[in-house]
């Protein structure tokens, strides 16, 4: 069995005598010597490990210490083609030079291949657009990619075209020196109108496909927000979110955590309800019900060019669907906070 081969049934793994107190990722590595520890660690962080028995709790921390008699079920998902192929997919290029490319990603565009989306991704488009220059940069599955946006989040992204550019951009993301601002249409009106949300983010123990704020564990996550406009007596708001960290679904999780879910978010409670809709005009209600994604847009990205050292900043206006949403919401009455 290799790391790229899936299992049809979860593997049943028991804690052997003498292994009590061991990290669960080490236990798995010792039990499955044909799988690397880093690979198994990724599976745990992706929510593929559950406690056997009635609780079925998802284990999301590789450092979890196992107990005597415990059993675990490990699911190894279907593998992805290790070498994505180039596809002639149009890109909205904002800026490009020999070292990097900046694009305005439309909603519905997946960044890199994964089960369920093996083709038609940004990676496939970049391979075709950039040619052989991407080979070997950042790994064969995600060549050039230094960050990502959710499938249904639109906006500015940067990708590296050379090894040195990839290293430089990756370092800036790791050091949290990248400037990132998002426009988020949320339910309600945050109070206070601006502030900082701090809450560690990790996999939800109840649903491995969701992230959640954790009192203990998870990874540090910080979001600064400022309300720019409130609509329909505070029924909805436009909020700018600036990231100090870059965790999976960070804005969506943090805004939901303070009670102001991103409108249209199917995962974190951004759906319409009768109470919410009653405060909006019929036109606004109709538009929100027809919105096919979360109302979140990466509108600004600033960084130091990894080769020239020059600071560069790129912006993208709201795409058509969110621009139309803003216009409709303004008609229902708005209070500007800018």
Supply the residues annotated as catalytic: 150
DSSP 154-177: EEEEEEESSHHHHHHHHHHHHTT-
Q: How many beta carbons lie within 10 A of that of residue 184, not counting itself? A: 29
For residue 196, CA distances in Å to 2, 36, 86, 136 come to: 45, 39, 41, 38
- Cβ contact 146:170 at 8 Å: yes
In terms of DSSP bridges, do strands 179-187 and 236-243 run parallel, antiparallel, or are they unpaired? antiparallel
- Cβ contact 101:137 at 8 Å: no
Q: What is the DSSP letter of 313?
A: E
- Cβ contact 104:155 at 8 Å: yes
Q: What is the CA radius of gyration of the chain?
A: 22
Q: Cα separation of 300 and 158, whole Å? A: 11
């Amino acid at each position: 069995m290799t790391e790229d081969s899936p299992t049809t049934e979860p593997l049943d793994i028991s804690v052997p005598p003498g292994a009590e107190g061991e990290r669960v990722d080490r236990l798995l590595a010792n039990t499955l010597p044909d799988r690397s520890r880093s690979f198994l660690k990724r599976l745990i962080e992706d929510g593929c490990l559950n406690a056997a028995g009635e609780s079925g709790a998802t284990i999301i921390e590789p450092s979890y210490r196992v107990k005597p008699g415990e059993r675990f079920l490990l699911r190894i998902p279907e593998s992805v083609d290790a070498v994505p192929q180039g596809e002639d997919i149009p890109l909205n290029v904002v800026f490009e030079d020999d070292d990097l490319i900046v694009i305005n990603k439309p909603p519905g565009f997946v960044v890199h291949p994964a089960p369920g989306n093996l083709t038609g991704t940004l990676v496939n488009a970049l391979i075709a657009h950039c040619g052989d220059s991407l080979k070997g940069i950042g790994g064969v599955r995600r060549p050039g990619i230094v960050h990502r946006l959710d499938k249904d989040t639109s906006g500015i992204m940067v990708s590296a075209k050379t090894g040195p550019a990839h290293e430089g951009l990756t370092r800036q993301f790791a050091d949290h020196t990248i400037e990132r601002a998002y426009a988020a249409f949320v339910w309600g009106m945050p109070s206070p109108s601006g502030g900082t949300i701090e809450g560690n983010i990790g996999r939800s123990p109840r649903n491995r496909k969701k992230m959640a704020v954790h009192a203990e564990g998870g990874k540090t996550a910080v979001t600064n927000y400022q309300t720019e406009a409130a609509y329909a007596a505070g029924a909805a708001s436009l909020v700018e979110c600036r990231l100090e960290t870059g965790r999976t679904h960070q804005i969506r999780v943090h805004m939901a955590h303070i009670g102001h879910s991103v409108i249209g978010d199917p995962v974190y409670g951004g759906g319409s309800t009768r109470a919410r809709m009653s405060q909006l005009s019929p036109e606004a209600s109709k538009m929100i019900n027809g919105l096919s994604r979360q109302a979140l847009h990466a509108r600004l990205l600033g960084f130091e060019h990894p080769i020239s050292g020059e600071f560069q900043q790129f912006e993208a206006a709201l795409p058509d669907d969110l621009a139309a949403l803003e216009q409709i919401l303004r008609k229902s009455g708005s209070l500007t906070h800018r």
